[in-house]
Amino acid sequence: MDHTVEKVRGVLQRLRGDRGAATAEYAITILAAVGFAGLLVALLKGDEVKAILSDLVHRALSGG
């Protein structure tokens, strides 16, 4: 009986910890970053954005 109580107590202590919280936070952050990257890719594929970036690079390389 005493061994069972100690075993249950050990399991409860492990379940109470927040070790997995950081992993979940990292997963949410990665998902947000992937979503943001997808949005940027979609924006950069547009013709207007390509023209703006091309003009910006051309002006930077030509000195003015």
Boundaries of every domain in the chain: 2-62
Helices (H), ranges, 1-64: 2-16, 19-44, 47-62
Q: What is the pLDDT of residue 28?
A: 93
pLDDT of 24 reads 81
By residue count, the chain amounts to 64
Per-residue pLDDT tens listing for the chain (64 residues): 677 878 877 777 776 666 666 788 889 999 999 999 999 999 888 899 889 989 999 999 998 6
Global pTM reads 0.48
